[in-house]
Amino acid sequence: MVPFHIQPESDQRILCFHITQDCDCDTIFAFYHLSKKMRYRYYQQGCVYTINKRLTQNHSLHCGEQLFIAPIHEEEEIIPWAKPIEICYEDDCFLVVNKPVGMLVHSDGNNQNHTLHNCVKAYYQAHALDVAVRSVHRLDLETSGLVLYIKHPFFQAYMDHLIAKKEIQRCYLAWVKGRITQTSLIIDQPLGRDRHHAGRMRIHAQGKAACTKVKVKKRLKDTTLVECQLLSGRTHQIRVHLASIGHPLLSDALYGTKDSRIHRCALHAWKLEFYHPLKQAKQTICCPLPEDMAI
């Protein structure tokens, strides 16, 4: 592994790779899973250079040298929406936002200007950051909690790789109907679209593999607070899996029934864990239960 750190230069975020053994530029690009097309963009935009020269193609690197990689410029059409957002974590590479209930993460084709992406765009502009809005994952409309954004395009492919390898841990808290008697359980059931009900998913033998770890946190008379860890990331996974064992989420209109104690689907993304490529250590970010889930 090639150790590196962020090297500030004017207002730009420059990655500085300190070379500890002979290699080349493409070795570094490959380590972070950048495609050949993306590597070409970095070379074409003049974003790859050593102390002595700017590089236009792959180049041999020797122990003791430094390689600098600047962010590429990316065009986007997201309109900023200056609505305040809660920042749970931020550094030169990542931004983690607490998404409020009732807000889309990104446009669904109808609502294009009032999503979390629009809020993040306004936040970047307010802090003079020339950064494209890139989220690693998304949440459903009624789900609150943590959404991870990448501030440096160099790490997009790396984070996509971590998601694919199930190395970004996403934990949710949910109130479900009834008392779950087990302390913990694993629901391993494939999911597919329900062709009889638009917008719904269902357990389907020919569906995509889906696995959820469930741990009981608190039991009340007729409801249970559970922590759910996604071992895969399918649409409505937690909601369908819990409904399939007879414990739908409270007020889940799609897979359960309304509950007077909460007026939205009782699901909150409360914890993210991933390997931070700069710190070279596990990064954990938490967001406690919102008031409407304090049953």
Three-state secondary-structure class, residue 107: coil
DSSP 201-223: EEE-TTSB--EEEEEEEEE-SSE
Element of type H or E holding 232? none
User: Which of 140, 160, 194, 252 does the annotation list as catalytic?
Assistant: 140
Residue type, 230: L
- At residue 161, φ and ψ (nearest 5 deg) are -65, -45
Nearest Cα to Cα of residue 286 among 158, 127, 150, 171? 171
Nearest Cα to Cα of residue 192 among 180, 182, 203? 203
> First CA to last CA across the chain, in angstroms?
47
Beta strands in the chain (DSSP E): 4-9, 12-18, 23-24, 48-49, 60-61, 66-69, 86-90, 94-99, 144-150, 169-177, 184-188, 191-193, 201-203, 211-219, 223-230, 267-276, 281-286
Distance CA 42, CA 56 (A): 9
Query: In sequence order, what are the residues at sequence separation of 6 or more whose Cβ sits closer than 8 angstroms to the Cβ of residue 94?
Result: 148, 149, 150, 151, 276, 283
Distance CA 18, CA 22 (A): 11
Residue 140 a catalytic site member? yes
Nearest Cα to Cα of residue 68 among 31, 13, 130? 13
CB 252 within 8 A of CB 260: no
Active site residues: 140
